[in-house]
Amino acid sequence: MTNPLVSLDKAAKQRALSKILKKRRGKFEGNSDVTARRLEEEVPETFYHFDKFAEYQQIKMHKAAADHFLVNSPFFQVHDGCARDTTWIDGKEVINFGTYNYLDLNGNPEINAAVSNAIERYGVSASASRLVAGERMPHQSLEQALAKLYNVDAALTFVGGHSTNVNTIATLLGGKDLVIHDQLIHNSIKQGVLLSGATRQIFPHNDWKELDGLLSRSRHRFEKVLICIEGLYSMDGDIPDLKRFVEISRKYNVLLMVDEAHSLGVLGDTGKGLAEHFGIDPREVDIWMGTMSKTLGSCGGYIAGSRALIEILQYSAPGFVYSVGMPPALAVGVEKAIELMLREPERVSRLKSNGQYFLSLAKEHGLETGRAQGFNVIPVVTGNSLHAVRLSHALLKEGIAVSPIVHPAVEENQARLRFFITSSHNENQLRYTVETVAKLIKEGIPQQAL
Ligand SMILES: Cc1ncc(COP(=O)(O)O)c(C=O)c1O
C-alpha cells in the first residue's frame, strides 16, 4: 500500500501532518480525567513504583522466609578494623575467613606509609578521565609493574574489577562473535558478554575436551572467538589445566582470557599466578585479567597483554574513556603490594601451607570440601542455603566469621560456607575452626534464631 502523504506537495504534507497530530493530542487533551484514569489502568504499578518491582518483591520474600525460619540475615554485617586473619564484630575479635587479604598486604605498614605520602601529594581522587584530563605518574608506574609481572607489553587499570571484565569483553567482541566460557565463570564475564551482543556458549567446568568438541563444531560460524576461564575458581578453589586451554586456543585461532582475581598472589612460587604455576610463558595467553581488591589489597581491575590490546581498550573501552582513573594514591599502594609480594615469597608459601593444612584437616574430619585443591578458597558444602546460613551464625557465636554462599550464587543443593585462607592465619586458628565446624555439623545445626 502506498503512503497517501507521498503524493502531496510540501505544504499540503505539512497541513496533513499537523491535522493528524492535533487529532492525536485531542485524544488526550479532550478529557484529561478520563485519560489519566485510562493511563493508570493501562500501566501496572509494577512498572513505575520501586516497591512493586518484581526484584523488590523477591528481596521481601527472602526476608520473610528468613523470619519464618528464625534466622538473622548474614548480609551487610558491620565489621571494624582492618580485614585480616581476625576482624571485629560487635566489639568482639573473631577469626576471619571472609577476607580476600590473601597475603596479608592490606594494612601493611610499608604500604600504608607509601599511600599516606601519595595522598599528601595527589589527594584521594584522579578527578577525571585519564584520556582527556591527563594521568599521574603512579598510573603509568603501576601499569608498567603489572606488565612486567606478566612479562607482556603493557597493562591498563580500571576503577573496578567487575567493570574491567564487562568493559573489556564488550569492547572487544560484537554480534558476529562468540564467547565460550567455563560453566562456573564469574558474573562479570557473563555481563560483559550480554553487553557485547556476542553469542555465549558454556563448557562444563574445567572440561577442555568438551571445549575442544564445541569449537570443532562451531568455530567456523563466528568471526572472533574468546575462551574465558578463571585462574582459580572463586566458589570451589580449583584450577584449570592452562596448558590444554592454550593448546586449544592455538588449534582454533581463538583468543584466551584468564581471570586471575583469585590466583594472583596464590599460585606459582612467587605468586605470579597460573602461568607461573604451570611454567608457561604468560605471552601464550591473550588477555590476562585481574583485580586489585584481593591479593593486592586495594580496589580496581587490570588487563595485561599485547600493546595493541591495551591501546584498543585505552581508546575505546567506555568504562575507561568515560570514567575516572583509579586514585593515584591507591595505584601507589598496589604497586607497593606487588613489590612486597615479589620481595617476600614466604607469604605465598605460608598461604599454600595454610591451605593444604586446612584442607587435609577438613578431610580428616569428614567435611565435604568439593573440588578444593587446598589453596586460598576452601568451601564446606552444607547442601542447602538455610543450613549454610545457620551454620555461619553458629560459628560466629564460637568466634569464627565465615560467609555462607547460598542460592542463586550456587545451586541450591550446593550451598556452602566459603573459607578464604590467608598467609596470616596460624595453625591454632585453622585447627580450632575445622574442629568447631565438624562439631557443629555432628551435633546438628541449631534451629533457633542466632
Ligand atoms: C573471578 C572474579 N572476577 C572478577 C571479580 C570482580 O572483582 P572486584 O570485586 O575487584 O570488582 C571477582 C570478585 O570477586 C571475581 O571473583
Peptide bond into 44 cis (omega under 30): no
Same domain, 189 and 291: yes
pLDDT, residue 448, reads: 47
| pLDDT tier at 31, thresholds 50, 70, 90 | low
Ligand 1 binding site (Cβ under 6 Å of any ligand atom): 160-162, 165, 186, 188, 230, 234, 259, 261-262, 291, 293, 301
User: If you take atom 15 of ligand 1, which residue's CA is the nearest one?
Assistant: 261
185 Cα nearest atom in ligand 1: 1
Same domain, 414 and 273: no
Q: Is 206 left (phi over 0), alpha (psi -120 to 50) or beta?
A: left
Residue 409 lies in a domain: yes
- CATH number at 272 reads 3.40.640.10
Same domain, 353 and 428: yes
436 to 77, 274, 364, 404, 439: CA distances (angstroms): 21, 33, 13, 16, 5
Distance 229 CA to ligand 1 centre (A): 13
Choosing from 322, 343, 364, the residue where a domain stops is 343
Cell of 329: 594514591
The number of distinct structural domains making up the chain is 2
pLDDT, residue 450, reads: 43
Bridge-partner residues for 304, per DSSP? 155, 288
Q: Probe ligand 1: pick from 157, 162, 205, max atoms within 8 Å of CB?
A: 162
Residue 46 lies in a domain: no
Distance 115 CA to ligand 1 centre (A): 23
Determine the structural domain holding residue 137 and report its residue range: 109-343
pLDDT, residue 2, reads: 42
* Identity of residue 107: G
Residue 21 lies in a domain: no
Same domain, 236 and 286: yes
Distance 233 CA to ligand 1 centre (A): 11
Same domain, 384 and 335: no
Residue 53 lies in a domain: no
Same domain, 244 and 382: no
Choosing from 320, 343, 366, the residue where a domain stops is 343
Distance 160 CA to ligand 1 centre (A): 9
Residue 18 lies in a domain: no
Distance 18 CA to ligand 1 centre (A): 55
Same domain, 361 and 297: no
- Taking only Cα atoms into account, the Rg of the chain, rounded to an integer number of angstroms, comes to 27
Same domain, 286 and 371: no
Distance 322 CA to ligand 1 centre (A): 21
Average pLDDT, the chain: 92
Same domain, 242 and 182: yes
User: Mean pLDDT throughout 224-244?
Assistant: 98
Sole residue written with cell 566489639: 91
Q: Inform me whether the pLDDT recorded for 449 exceeds 50.
A: no
Same domain, 128 and 242: yes
Q: Is 134 left (phi over 0), alpha (psi -120 to 50) or beta?
A: left
User: If you take atom 11 of ligand 1, which residue's CA is the nearest one?
Assistant: 161
Q: Probe ligand 1: pick from 188, 189, 303, max atoms within 8 Å of CB?
A: 188
List pLDDT tens digits, range 312-359.
Answer: 999 999 999 999 999 999 999 999 999 999 999 999 999 999 999 999
Is 446 within 8 Å of 398 (Cβ atoms)? no
Choosing from 314, 343, 372, the residue where a domain stops is 343
List pLDDT tens digits, range 371-417.
Answer: 999 999 999 999 888 889 999 999 999 999 999 998 888 888 899 99
Residue 142 lies in a domain: yes
Same domain, 176 and 205: yes
Q: Probe ligand 1: pick from 100, 166, 291, max atoms within 8 Å of CB?
A: 291
Distance 262 CA to ligand 1 centre (A): 8
Angle CA 230–355–421, to nearest 5: 75
Same domain, 383 and 330: no
- CATH number at 83 reads 3.90.1150.10
Distance 290 CA to ligand 1 centre (A): 8
Residue 24 lies in a domain: no
